[in-house]
Structure formats: C-alpha cells, structure tokens
Amino acid sequence: MLRAGALLAGAASVSLSGCRSHDARTDREVFLLRPGVEQAYGYSHAMRVGDRLVISGAVSMDDAGKPTAVGDLDRQMRNCYADLRMILDHFGCTFDDVVVENIFTTDMAAFLPASAYRAEVYGNGYPTGTWLEVKGLALPEFMIEIELEVDVPRW
C-alpha cells in the first residue's frame, strides 16, 4: 500500500472526505483514508473514474502509518477489510460490488485457513481475483495487502 498510486491532477485539495474534479472526458473522485500517510508516500487510497473504483492495497496500520496486529495475519486481514469497508461506504458501495480482489501475503500457509473469513465479507459470492505469496510488502511487519476493483452502482 505504501507504493505510488493514482494521483488526481489539478485537484486543489484532497481531504478525508475526498474531492471531486471534473474534466471533459471523465468524472473523477479521489479518497484518502489516511491523508497524512498517503500524501507522505505519494499515493491515493482510492480513485473513482466514472463507474469504476480502484482501491489501493489495504494493509493493517493505524492513522499514523504504524503497522498494527504485528505477527497476526488473521487480525491484519480483518483490519484490511475494515478499512476497505470504510472506503466502499464512502462511495456508496458494498463488497457485493467488488469485481476484482487481489491478495498479496508473505505467508500463504497461514493465509489459507484465515481466508475462511472472506465468506463473512462476501456473503453473496466471491469476486474474481488472484492470491499471491510475496517475499515482502512495503514494511516488514505487514503480512497481507488487499486491493480491490469495484463496479460503482448507478442509482
């Protein structure tokens, strides 16, 4: 998550509640979950372009960017989904609107049994996606990172 993500060109300001910027081609909105952390590392946690919402990888951290639930993959995963839920809520979406979920973990053997929690998250069926074991994430304490692509419902 602490990698560069999509940035909104021409935005006057970005706050916890997001900001909107319109151009002739598309309607865009950026959302920063932890503005200080995201601005320091140069990424946006989420960007909606029209009916498409892309959410950068969520990791288990506090508002200052410090890793939480260190050594506990199950708790880290639940923290990730809690953050993702806040972002989805902001855009009027639910996990039912998720079309792609990519999970990166440093310990696939520990993730596989913990992944049963996803049945609580995705009560109406799972999205497409990929699970990858990686050597490391942005900080060594992070054991899991979850990124989403979402189809924003039209009202």
Task: Please tell me the predicted confidence (pLDDT) of residue 121.
Answer: 98
* Residue 16 belongs to some domain of the structure: no
Q: Bridge partners of 49?
A: 28, 52
Top pLDDT among 76 and 23 is at 76
Residue 41 domain-assigned (yes or no): no
**105 domain-assigned:** yes
Q: Which domain holds residue 70?
A: 52-150
- CATH number of the domain that residue 107 is part of: 3.30.1330.40
For residues 143 and 155, give the distance between their C-alpha atoms in angstroms, rounded to a whole number.
37
pTM for this model (two decimals) = 0.84
- On whether residue 132 sits in a domain, the answer given is yes
Q: Residue 8 above 80 pLDDT?
A: no
Q: From CA 134, how far away is CA 41, in angstroms rounded? A: 21
Report CA 23 to chain centroid distance, whole Å. 25
Q: Look up residue 61 and give its DSSP letter.
A: B
Structural domain tally of the chain?
Answer: 1
- Amino acid (1-letter code) at residue 99: V
Q: Considering the domain boundaries, does residue 6 fall inside one? A: no
Among candidate residues 6, 11, 93, the one with its CA nearest the CA of residue 56? 6
In a domain, 18, yes or no: no
Percent over 90 (pLDDT), the chain: 81
pLDDT tens digit sequence for 80-130? 999 999 999 999 999 999 999 999 999 999 999 999 999 999 999 999 999
**19 part of a folded domain:** no
Residue 68 lies in a domain: yes
**Partners of 148 in beta bridges:** 55, 101
Q: How far apart are CA 102 and CA 118, in angstroms?
A: 13
